[in-house]
């Protein structure tokens, strides 16, 4: 049976679009800067192994994952480029990191010391990137005593500081004043290090929003995530470049039912038909990441026409009103987001209906469903969930 028929509800990943988006990053940052592709959370739900292979072929220098376990999966798949582990030592050991040649982020003195001790015992030096918190308020050493901390970490002979980086809290905002403040804190520290003769090979700060809209933050390496997957970090940035959506999600109608006016639909009876209606059942629900917040708010696309989600999204089913589409039949394709031959439904719009962001829907749906990979429109790989 053909994969498209076997999997009625599926994610389709367009590897050609991924390559296109990588080229857009390259065009913005120029040939000399290194690109670290963020492939954490199974490449934002697109499949870390397939995505990493494609991006390495396109020229990615390094990858970033959240945990060592994610990094080990990449190594086991034969991926050899440098891999940055953003959560550092969490849930892993220095030995494990060294065995798999993973580069941990260091954000606490105790993890630096643990790594140092293990590296010296093994007669090695372990490469690390040091994270500075310049205003994100998440991981990282606070920037103020940053100089002393970095000097202390540099004194640990088992460690080699290959990178120093920070992460922006709102580079996607049109008002860049806080991003500029974060940048000045980061640059200030880098300059003071330089004054003391300390040169860290890789400095980095730019996520997708900064890559598109804040070039002073490029340094010599950039860290795109969401833009590689074809999503604009903010709608206002859309005129700046053309990204191609990489993921589309498809399902099909499994039942059609004509119901009278006054008929209630789904749990809690939150939707009552106002006239005779035709309701279609779709085999996807919140168990596969199709958010329950889309109940009575979402839209899907059938033959290029929008149909409203009616009633509550259930665990593995949802309902749409197709009264205005007399031609539809059981088995017809339904697009939940992305594009097909008949039209396009933007994930940004779907996310707004669900009161969330594209990142969350990509991760939750992408990781739950079978994924079919396409290059130049041809199916090249299938990954069962």
Ligand X SMILES: Cc1ncc(COP(=O)(O)O)c(C=O)c1O
Report the residue closest to ligand X, judged by CB: 225
- What minimum distance in Å lies between the beta carbon of 225 and ligand X? 2
Name the residue nearer to ligand X (CB basis): 105 or 118. 105
SS in 3 state form for the chain?
CCHHHHCCCEEEEEHHHHHHHHHHHHHHHCCCCEEEEECHHHHHHCCHHHHHHHHHHHCCCEEEECCHHHHHHHHHCCCCCCEEECCCCCCCCHHHHHHCCCEEEECCHHHHHHHHHHHHHCCCCEEEEEEEECCCCCCCEECCCHHHHHHHHHCCCCEEEEEEEECCCCCCCCCCHHHHHHHHHHHHHHHHHHHCCCCCCEEECCCHHHHHHCHHHCCCEECCCHHHHCCCCCHHHHHHCCCCCCEEEEEECCEEEEECCCCEECHHHCEECCCCEEEEEECCCHHHCCCHHHCCCCEEEECCEEEEECCCCCCCCEEEECCCCCCCCCCCEEEEEEEECCEEECHHHHHHHCCCCHHHHHHHHHCCCCEEEEECCEEEEEECC
Nearer to ligand X, 170 or 332 (CB): 170
Q: How far is the CB of 291 from ligand X (least distance, A)?
A: 19
Q: Would you say 53 or 167 has its CB closer to ligand X?
A: 167
**For residues 366 and 346, what is the distance between their CA atoms, to the nearest angstrom?**
16
Residue 114 bears catalytic tag? no
Please report, as ranges, the residues that interact with ligand X according to CB under 6 A. Answer: 38, 86, 167, 207-208, 223-227, 233
Q: Is 267 annotated as catalytic?
A: yes
Q: How far is the CB of 358 from ligand X (least distance, A)?
A: 10
Which residue out of 40, 127, 176, 252 is catalytically annotated?
40
In the block, tokens 């492939």 appear at 39
Our CB check for ligand X shows the closer of 8 and 208 to be: 208
What's the min distance (Å) between Cβ of 40 and ligand X?
7
> Who contacts 3 (Cβ-Cβ below 8 Å, separation ≥6)?
370, 372, 379, 382
Residue number, 163 or 285, with CB nearest to ligand X: 163
Q: Which residue among 6, 194, 258, 267 is the active-site one?
A: 267
Q: How far is the CB of 367 from ligand X (least distance, A)?
A: 16
Provide, rounded to whole angstroms, the least separation between the CB of residue 195 and ligand X: 27
- Residue placing its CB nearer to ligand X in the complex, 146 or 233: 233
The set of catalytic residues is 40, 267
């Amino acid at each position: 049976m053909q994969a498209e028929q076997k999997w009625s509800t599926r994610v389709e990943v367009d590897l050609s679009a991924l390559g296109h988006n990588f080229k857009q990053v390259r065009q913005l940052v120029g040939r000399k800067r290194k690109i670290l592709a963020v492939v954490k959370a199974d490449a934002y739900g697109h499949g870390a192994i397939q995505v990493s292979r494609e991006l390495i072929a396109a020229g990615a220098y390094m990858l970033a994952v959240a945990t060592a376990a994610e990094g080990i999966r990449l190594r086991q798949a034969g991926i050899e480029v440098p891999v940055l582990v953003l959560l550092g030592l969490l849930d892993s050991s220095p030995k494990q990191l060294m065995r798999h040649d993973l580069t941990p982020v260091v954000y606490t003195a105790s993890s630096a010391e643990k790594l140092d001790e293990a590296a010296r015992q093994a007669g090695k030096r372990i490469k690390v990137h040091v994270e500075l918190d310049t205003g994100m308020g998440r991981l990282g050493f606070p920037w103020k005593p940053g100089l002393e901390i970095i000097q202390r970490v540099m004194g640990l002979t088992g460690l080699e500081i290959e990178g120093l980086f920070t992460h922006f809290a709102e580079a996607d905002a049109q008002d860049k004043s806080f991003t500029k403040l974060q940048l000045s804190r980061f640059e200030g520290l880098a300059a003071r290090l330089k004054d003391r003769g300390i040169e860290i090979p890789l400095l980095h700060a730019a996520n997708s929003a900064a890559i598109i809209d804040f070039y002073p933050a490029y340094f010599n390496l950039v860290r795109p995530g969401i833009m590689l997957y074809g999503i604009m970090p903010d709608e206002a940035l859309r005129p700046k470049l053309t990204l191609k959506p990489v993921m589309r999600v498809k399902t099909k109608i499994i039942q059609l039912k004509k119901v009278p006016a006054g008929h209630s639909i789904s749990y809690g009876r939150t939707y009552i038909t106002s006239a005779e209606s035709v309701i279609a059942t779709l085999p996807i629900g919140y168990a596969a990441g199709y958010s329950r917040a889309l109940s009575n708010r979402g839209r899907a696309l059938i033959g290029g026409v929008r149909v409203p989600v009616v009633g509550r999204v259930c665990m593995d089913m949802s309902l749409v009103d197709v009264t205005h589409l007399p031609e539809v039949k059981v088995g017809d394709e339904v697009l939940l987001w992305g594009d097909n031959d008949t039209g396009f439904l933007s994930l940004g719009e779907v996310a707004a209906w669900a009161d969330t962001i594209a990142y969350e829907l990509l991760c939750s749906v992408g990781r739950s469903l079978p994924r079919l990979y396409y290059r130049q429109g041809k199916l090249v790989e299938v990954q069962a969930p």
